[in-house]
Structure 1
Amino acid sequence: MNCKLIPQSLCTVAALTGVTPLMSQQKETPGQPNIVVFIADDAGMDYGCYGNKGISTPNIDRLASKGIRFEKAFLTSPQSSPSRTSMMTGKFAHTIGTQDLHTGIDADTKMMPYYFKQAGYTTACMLKTHWGPNGDKQFDRIIKGTYLPDQGPLSKEVFANYRQFLDDTKGEPFFLWVGFIDPHRPYNRKKCPQVNTPGKVTVPPYLVDGEDTRRDLADYYNEISRMDDNIGTMLKEMEKRHLLDNTIIVFLSDNGMPFPRAKGTLYDSGIQTPLIFVWDKKIQPGTKHTNGLVSTIDLAPTLLSLAGIEVPEDMYGRGFKDLLFDPSRRGSEYIFSERNWHDTDEYIRCVRSEKYKLIYNAYYELPHGTSMDLSTSLSWYELKKHQRQGSLQKSQTQIFECPRAMVEIYDLEKDPDELDNVADLAEYKAPGSVLARKMVEWQKATKDHPWWKNRRPDQNDRITGFPLFMNRPPLWVE
């Protein structure tokens, strides 16, 4: 790699991930395919195509059968707005100042639609965005029609405006970002089709396998199924217009499922994402990638390069275009993720390889922070009830530990659920030291702030989950 061609910080990130940035491949793909990104809100890995037999997701499963499914894809944050701004810009949230929840991008930060517009694309987004007004301005069109998670399925207005957008862009390449709010809380059973049952859900070991938790998981499954149905409707509309022949379809989520010890944490339950790419006659149907890791920091440069657009040099992400067409090729050696303010303040960083993960907790004297949507859920209350009774299993006490370890190391081959912190075992000192060095180098290369600089008060109590404030507290004043 010729480091004279790109910023030194990007060379450092390339060295950390173990893969050279995709700079020489930007002109390999002729033509301008349409690009449609479907992004779920708070959906984990619960789909039929990812092995969950208790959920109905026929349309997402069909996408996986027609394209490539990534088994080891990860997010740069387990929080909505930091995650979305990162994947849209190819930069880490702490680099562009969007690390705290509900923080939009500034007027100078460029997102994908800016570059697509420069290349002749019509750009649009619909439903949830969560990158602020400066981000919205970079799209040609905001497709009207919003919905909230407790208001039922998408309205006729939403689909009518979607169809109108397709009419208006006939014959011209377009980039469309579809931000679903499903399966974000709150849940409304009366307005969501009940297609999944509590008896067939998969209860992870860090939750109590009880009636309330199963009901909670079934509600979550049902919202994923509702999203799946809406995706099917939108795909059929494109199919009727013969658009799918030259349209790249992407499906992913912004963070893990909205349950305790998942969303908002840097365990895989919080940062692993489904990732599916479909491109008819270009990507081999029914393939999967398992060799190495993929990060959503790489989404923007990948989509730009697929459209034949030059990847900006200031993006930290690298393209993984080659993996789409040859799943045997190896992905990244390491991925990095961060957790900052989200109703409770945190400063957590992690680095993950295929075999090991290291998590750094700056506020180790405090229990894990939680968000108000999680701490008012049926699953949370069932955990707290069993905690009072002293009947929690060891795997269910992890988020209540106080003080917690400043450093957590997990052997992912032996402990895929990340329940046994082995940082105090001699045999893990060497691999842990490698990960620690990689993390510090990544923080320096991406201009991460020190843990003490951005502290905020908590919005809700970490122990009980009770909301202290209804509005976001200000930053500490030094």
Structure 2
Amino acid sequence: MNRCEITFKLWVVVGLVLVSCQPAQEKAVQSKRPNIVFIMTDDHAYQAISAYGSNLINTPNIDRLAQEGMRFDKAFVTNSICSPSRAVILTGKHSHINGLRDNIQVFDSSQQTLPKLMQAAGYETAMIGKWHLKSTPTGFDFWKVLPGQGHYYHPEFRTPGGVVKETGYVTDVITDIALEWLGTKRDQEKPFMLMYQHKAPHREWWPAQNHLSDIGRQTYPEPPSLFDDYQNRGAAAREAEMRISDHMGLTNDNKIKPKIVDSLGFKDFLSWYSRAHLNDYNRMSDEEKANWEKVYGPINENFKNNTPQNDALTSWKYQRYMQDYLTSIRSVDENVGRLLQYLDSTGLAENTLVVYTSDQGFYLGEHGWFDKRFMYEESFRTPLIVRWPGKVKAGSINNNLVQNLDFAETFLEAVGAEIPGDMQGKSLLPLLTETSSEWRKSIYYHYYEYPGIHAVKRHYGVRTDRYKLIHFYHDIDEWELYDLEKDPHEMNNVFEDDIYFEVRQDMTAELRKLQEQYQDSDELAQQIMASDLDSN
């Protein structure tokens, strides 16, 4: 019996004891106000969830949430990058308002946040897993978070008492901590909000030991745009540095030993790639390294002896990418299952609102890319699944335009707390309970981290059900317009097409309306850009 199974069985027993001893007061409170479990992964593309029709992977436990709740098919972020997305979720405000626009800045934890408002409403709060905001978490009765990106093997955690190191695989460990908090560390007389946030499947996608045997068993279909030449689009797409062919590392990303890469004459695109690979590898125990070598040793030898070139190398790198990325997701799904089983076994599931989402989308080879950042669909769109027994219709699907900007307002309304007037999103409760069909017709996006890693230009834009308008700025001034009905993969920019003259006018007007609504503008964007450049 492995560690995960032992830990799960232990906490099931603890949970059953707690339920049998649960005071009448807690049962009364629980029946009135729901608990909230917010599950967020890092860089989990909707294309890699079988509930969304993926042909890449089967995710039965995440799918269970969709079968028992509501799947949102048009859920998006306001800024597709890790730290800003988390700040938006905590504040219910766009990046230029909450002050965190990129992965470099430090989140101001002194400001009004969702967990503080939940505490004021009488909730016990916990943050476990990936924080990625640099500052000390506030508004949480319990927190244990990864420093920065954290590590897949034997990760360190920041706690109020200092940094501690845990033994095991990060996805399992985060779940162990969450189950322990649910079972023995929370105030049993209060409803709770647990923010249970995984590192996986963030780069560099190191699979768990118990899933190493999955590597190489499947050949994945290549996306049609894997060899995109970026015709009919501008400089922003062409100049981005996240192509699998050129910018993905053979060492850190594809797990080829640096000495083999060097012997074959390849050069890392960034100097830290080989160092990152060795650091991650050396975190494993001797036994873990031996298991790793049984799988990755033959992959390395085959690459050395049968080295692919040109397009064949891109295809090879894509397969290696998918093997590791998707295998790390198998651990996520497995651990979501552990948590759901715990909620079931303790009776908590009946009155717990469970959300599954990611901090943004991710490219799985579309346009030849990995990573995120752009306002194009694969990056902009995120999975969102909500289960709330007795409130949300099982197996329902929603097609309204929603964003991570709406999460805080949703949780506050769900627990009967007042939504502050300065929050900029909308509660999703009318959609979840299907009590209203009225909703917004457009959403706003703004990305700021340029110059920066992956070289994605600064841009903002608006999306409606059918169209998307994007303005790239900084060292370029380019506009893109996409007809998502005719061109769902965004291969053809029609901004200059006379047929779309009226659409362009309407979308520009809608963009300016949203900028005014959310207190953004071209002038503010230029001020922020100048300030960022001065500080760097």
| TM-score interval for Structure 1 and Structure 2 normalised by the shorter chain | 0.7 to 0.9
Aligned counterpart, 1:116: 118
- Give yes or no for contact 2:151–2:170 (8 Å, CA) kept in 1: no
Aligned counterpart, 1:415: 487
Superposed CA offset, 1:35-63 (max 9, x none): 00000101111110000133021100111
Aligned equivalents of 2:43 and 2:316: distance in 1?
Answer: 22
CA-based RMSD of the aligned residues comes to: 2.7
Equivalent runs, 1:266-415 vs 2, <5 Å: 266-290=375-399, 292-326=400-434, 329-341=437-449, 342-343=452-453, 344=455, 346-363=457-474, 365=476, 406-415=478-487
Q: Compared with structure 1, are the counterparts of its residues 144 and 338 closer, same or farther at alpha carbon in structure 2 (3 Å cutoff)?
A: closer
Aligned counterpart, 1:433: 505
Equivalent runs, 1:22-421 vs 2, <5 Å: 31-45=32-46, 46-133=48-135, 136-143=137-144, 148-149=151-152, 153-154=169-170, 158-166=174-182, 167=184, 168-189=186-207, 191=209, 193-194=211-212, 195=214, 199-208=218-227, 210-257=315-362, 260=369, 263-290=372-399, 292-326=400-434, 329-341=437-449, 342-343=452-453, 344=455, 346-363=457-474, 365=476, 406-421=478-493
AA partner of residue 288 (structure 1): I
Q: Compared with structure 1, are the counterparts of its residues 477 and 130 closer, same or farther at alpha carbon in structure 2 (3 Å cutoff)?
A: closer
Q: Compared with structure 1, are the counterparts of its residues 320 and 187 closer, same or farther at alpha carbon in structure 2 (3 Å cutoff)?
A: closer
Aligned equivalents of 2:38 and 2:205: distance in 1?
Answer: 24
| Bigger Rg, which one | 2
Q: Compared with structure 1, are the counterparts of its residues 327 and 105 closer, same or farther at alpha carbon in structure 2 (3 Å cutoff)?
A: same
Q: Compared with structure 1, are the counterparts of its residues 162 and 295 closer, same or farther at alpha carbon in structure 2 (3 Å cutoff)?
A: closer
Shift of 1:335: 1.0
Q: Compared with structure 1, are the counterparts of its residues 327 and 187 closer, same or farther at alpha carbon in structure 2 (3 Å cutoff)?
A: farther
Aligned counterpart, 2:517: 445
Aligned equivalents of 2:86 and 2:190: distance in 1?
Answer: 26
Superposed CA offset, 1:388-434 (max 9, x none): xxxxxxxxxxxxxxxxx710000000111111000011121211222
- Give yes or no for contact 1:80–1:101 (8 Å, CA) kept in 2: yes
Aligned equivalents of 1:255 and 1:162: distance in 2?
Answer: 23
> What's the TM-score, normalizing by structure 2?
0.68
AA partner of residue 359 (structure 2): D
AA partner of residue 220 (structure 2): V
Shift of 1:200: 4.5
Shift of 1:186: 0.9
Q: How many residues are aligned here?
A: 393
Superposed CA offset, 1:206-263 (max 9, x none): 3247122122122111111111111111221222211000000000111122652650
Aligned counterpart, 1:476: 534
Superposed CA offset, 1:59-79 (max 9, x none): 001111010001111111110
Superposed CA offset, 1:343-374 (max 9, x none): 34732101000100001100363xxxxxxxxx
AA partner of residue 308 (structure 1): G
Task: Indicate the larger mover: 97-106 or 320-329.
Answer: 320-329
> What's the TM-score, normalizing by structure 1?
0.76
Superposed CA offset, 1:91-118 (max 9, x none): 0011121012142332542111011000
Q: State the SS of the aligned residue for 2:194.
A: strand
Q: State the SS of the aligned residue for 2:524.
A: coil
AA partner of residue 51 (structure 1): G
AA partner of residue 169 (structure 2): P
Aligned counterpart, 1:370: none
Aligned equivalents of 1:314 and 1:454: distance in 2?
Answer: 21
Q: State the SS of the aligned residue for 1:476.
A: helix
Q: Compared with structure 1, are the counterparts of its residues 159 and 356 closer, same or farther at alpha carbon in structure 2 (3 Å cutoff)?
A: closer
Aligned equivalents of 2:436 and 2:322: distance in 1?
Answer: 35
Shift of 1:157: 5.5
- Give yes or no for contact 2:175–2:335 (8 Å, CA) kept in 1: no
Q: Compared with structure 1, are the counterparts of its residues 226 and 159 closer, same or farther at alpha carbon in structure 2 (3 Å cutoff)?
A: closer
- Give yes or no for contact 2:171–2:198 (8 Å, CA) kept in 1: no
Superposed CA offset, 1:306-352 (max 9, x none): 11111100001111211112188254211111111153473210100
Q: Compared with structure 1, are the counterparts of its residues 279 and 51 closer, same or farther at alpha carbon in structure 2 (3 Å cutoff)?
A: same
AA partner of residue 162 (structure 1): A
Aligned-residue identity in percent: 30
Aligned equivalents of 2:82 and 2:421: distance in 1?
Answer: 25
Aligned equivalents of 1:428 and 1:172: distance in 2?
Answer: 55
Q: Compared with structure 1, are the counterparts of its residues 477 and 294 closer, same or farther at alpha carbon in structure 2 (3 Å cutoff)?
A: closer
AA partner of residue 285 (structure 1): A
Aligned equivalents of 1:161 and 1:144: distance in 2?
Answer: 10
- Give yes or no for contact 1:82–1:93 (8 Å, CA) kept in 2: yes
Q: Compared with structure 1, are the counterparts of its residues 415 and 241 closer, same or farther at alpha carbon in structure 2 (3 Å cutoff)?
A: same
Q: Compared with structure 1, are the counterparts of its residues 144 and 95 closer, same or farther at alpha carbon in structure 2 (3 Å cutoff)?
A: closer
Aligned equivalents of 1:62 and 1:47: distance in 2?
Answer: 11
Q: Compared with structure 1, are the counterparts of its residues 143 and 234 closer, same or farther at alpha carbon in structure 2 (3 Å cutoff)?
A: farther
Aligned equivalents of 1:444 and 1:328: distance in 2?
Answer: 26
Superposed CA offset, 1:160-191 (max 9, x none): 43233213332420001111111101123574
Aligned equivalents of 1:258 and 1:327: distance in 2?
Answer: 35
Q: Which consecutive residues of structure 2, in runs of 5 or more, have no partner in the other structure?
A: 1-29, 155-167, 228-313
Q: Which consecutive residues of structure 1, in runs of 5 or more, have no partner in the other structure?
A: 1-28, 366-404, 458-473
Q: Compared with structure 1, are the counterparts of its residues 159 and 221 closer, same or farther at alpha carbon in structure 2 (3 Å cutoff)?
A: closer
More helix by share: 2
AA partner of residue 295 (structure 1): Q
Q: Compared with structure 1, are the counterparts of its residues 117 and 73 closer, same or farther at alpha carbon in structure 2 (3 Å cutoff)?
A: same
Task: Indicate the larger mover: 409-418 or 221-230.
Answer: 221-230
